[in-house]
Amino acid sequence: MNLTNDAWIPVLRANGQPDLLSLRELFAEAHEVRDLAVKPHERVALMRLIIGITQAALDGPLDEDAWSECRTLIQPAVRTYLQKWEASFELFGTGTRFLQLPGLEPAQADDEGNPATKLDLTLATGNNPTLFDNGAGETRPMPPARAALSLLTFQCFSPGGRIGVAKWNGKETAGKGSSNHAPCTPSSMIHTLIEGDSMLETLHRNLLSKETVRDSIPGGWGRPVWELPPKNSSDKPAIDNATTTYLGRLLPLSRAVRLQPDGCSIIVANGLDYPLFPVSRETTATILLRKDELALLPASTGRALWRQLAPITVRRRSTANETSGPLALRHDFGTFDVPLWVGALVTDKAKIEDVVEGRHRIPNTMLTDFGRTAFEGGVGHAEEAEATLVQSVKIYAAELKLGTPPYEKARQHYWTRVEQSLSELFDVARKLLTKEELPQSGWGLAVRAASRAAYEQTCPAQTPRQIQAFAAGLRRLSLTPSAKSPKSTKKSSHE
C-alpha cells in the first residue's frame, strides 16, 4: 500500500458525504473537501502530516508576506513533491517504509510480536483501556488503511511507559524496555488548529513561515524524516534532524515499529528520544505562565475546553516571550471571527483517560489583551456562580441532613445549561464588557438562569421539609456573584 496513491484518509465532502482519499487526492481536491472525519488525536496527527508535506514542498513560506501569497502554490507544489518522494510512503515492502525504522527485528527469535491493534490507542489491546472498545480479542486484523492512520497517530501520541525491546540493525533499541511520551502527549497538552471553509484554507492557515520557525524552534527548519531517515542509532545528523527541527518533529519516530504483512502483528519498541517541553515546544500547543513557571496548557475531563480559550488566544509577540497559543495565530486572517478547533488526548501518566475536542468561532477582539480580559471575566463570572450553586446545594443538604450532597449532579446540570449560551460569552469579549456590566448582560442572565435551573433539577421541593430546605438554599443562590478576578472552583465532571 502506498499512501500517496491508495485511499486511507477519512474526510467529509462539501455536501457532508464521507469519503476515503489518498494523499494525492486529498491535496488535489483540498479546495472541495470540507473537513477530516477522524478522532481528535488523529486529526492532530493528520494535520502534522499534510502540513509537513506542504511546507517541505514549498520550502517555506519565507515570511508573512510570502505566507499571504502562497495558497495558490500549495497544490501544484505538493503534486510535484509527492511524485518525487512517492517511494517513501510505502506501508509495507522490503524498501523504505512510512514512519518505520529499517532493519528492525525482534530481540528474541521466538518473539511473536505485538497485536497490530496496539497501534490504535482507542482499542482494548494489551494495556490499553476499554474506554472506547470492549472487544478484547488481540488477533483482530487491521486493514491497511486503518493501520496507516493508526501508525501515524501512534508515533505522535503514544504515552510513555513500559515497552518491548527490539533490535535495530543488530543493536537493541534504547530505553531498556522503558519509553517517554511521544511529542504530542505530555501534560495532556491542548492542541489548537485554525480552521477554514475547506481543507485547503485550513491547511494554509496553519502553515508557519521560516521566520516564525527561526524565532520559535531551537533546531530550526529541518527536513521531514522520509527525506533524511535515520539508518541506525549512531546516525547523529539524521537523528538530530528528526528530533530537534520543525519539519523533523512534525512526523516523529518516537516508537520503533515494523508492520507485518498479515495485518495482525507488529514489532514495537522504543524509538528516538524527543526533547520535550520546555526544551522544545509543539507548534499547536499553548504555553502559559503558572506559578512563575512556564507550563503547557493541559486538558482535563473536568474542565470544558472553552473555559481555557483565553490563554490559547495569546499571540506570541517576541522571541523573548514564550507564552502564547498556537504559533499560527501570528497570521493576520483579516476576519471578524477566527474559527478554532481545540482538542487533546487526556492521559494520567501512561493511562489514556479520554479524548476531547471543541470548535469555536472566537471574535478577533480575543486576540487583544482587552478582549481576553473581558472573556476571562465572563468565565470567572460563571465559575463564581458555580461556587454559589454548590453552597446553595450544601445548605439544602444540611437542612435535610443528607449524607452526600449532590454537588456533581448540580455542576453537570449547570455547565450543560451554561454551554448553550456560549454566543453570549463571546459577545462579552466582542463588546469588551467590564465585570460590573456582566450581571445584566446576556451572559450574566444566562448564567443566572442556568444556576436556578440546576438548583431546581438537583434539589426537589415536594415535601414540607424539602420546601423549607429548598427555600434556605435559594436564599443563598439569589445573591449576585461578586465581580472578582477569574478563579477556578472545584473540579467539575462536566465536559
- Residues 353 and 453 reside in one and the same domain: no
- Residues 208 and 100 reside in one and the same domain: yes
pLDDT of residue 262: 80
Beta-bridge partner residues of 33: 13
Rg (CA), the chain: 25
pLDDT of residue 175: 87
CA atoms within 13 A on the CB side of 13: 7
E strand or H helix at 258, and its extent?
strand 255-259
Domain boundary among 235, 270, 305: 270
- 30 falls within a domain: yes
pLDDT of residue 480: 55
pLDDT of residue 456: 96
The answer to whether 241 and 230 are in contact (CB under 8 A) is no
Q: What is the pTM of this model?
A: 0.91
What residue ranges of the chain have pLDDT lower than 70? 110-112, 124-139, 318-320, 480-495
- 277 falls within a domain: no
- Residues 243 and 319 reside in one and the same domain: no
| All cell numbers assigned to 402 | 443528607
Beta-bridge partner residues of 114: 266
pLDDT of residue 263: 78
- Residues 147 and 60 reside in one and the same domain: yes
- Residues 396 and 345 reside in one and the same domain: no
CATH of the domain at 473: 1.10.132
Number of separate domains in the chain: 3
Residue 228 amino acid letter: L
- Residues 214 and 71 reside in one and the same domain: yes
- 248 falls within a domain: yes
pLDDT of residue 368: 93
**CA pair distance 205, 74, nearest whole angstrom:** 12
- 431 falls within a domain: yes
C-alpha pair distances (Å), 224 with each of 27, 52, 135, 149: 18, 7, 36, 18
- 275 falls within a domain: no
- H helix intervals, 159-273: 199-205, 210-216, 236-244, 246-250
Domain boundary among 367, 392, 407: 367
- Residues 298 and 405 reside in one and the same domain: no
- Residues 56 and 89 reside in one and the same domain: yes
- Residues 218 and 244 reside in one and the same domain: yes
- 117 falls within a domain: yes
- Residues 312 and 200 reside in one and the same domain: no
E strand or H helix at 167, and its extent?
strand 166-168
pLDDT of residue 494: 41
Domain boundary among 270, 301, 317: 270
| All cell numbers assigned to 111 | 518473539
- Residues 266 and 321 reside in one and the same domain: no
On the 0-12 / 13-18 / 19+ scale of CB atoms within 10 A, 117 is buried
pLDDT of residue 395: 96
- Residues 192 and 59 reside in one and the same domain: yes
Residue 151: how many other CB atoms lie within 10 Å: 25
* For residue 405, cis peptide bond before it (omega within 30 degrees of 0): no
**CA pair distance 300, 107, nearest whole angstrom:** 38
The answer to whether 353 and 346 are in contact (CB under 8 A) is yes
- 4 falls within a domain: no
Domain containing 343 equals 287-367
- 48 falls within a domain: yes
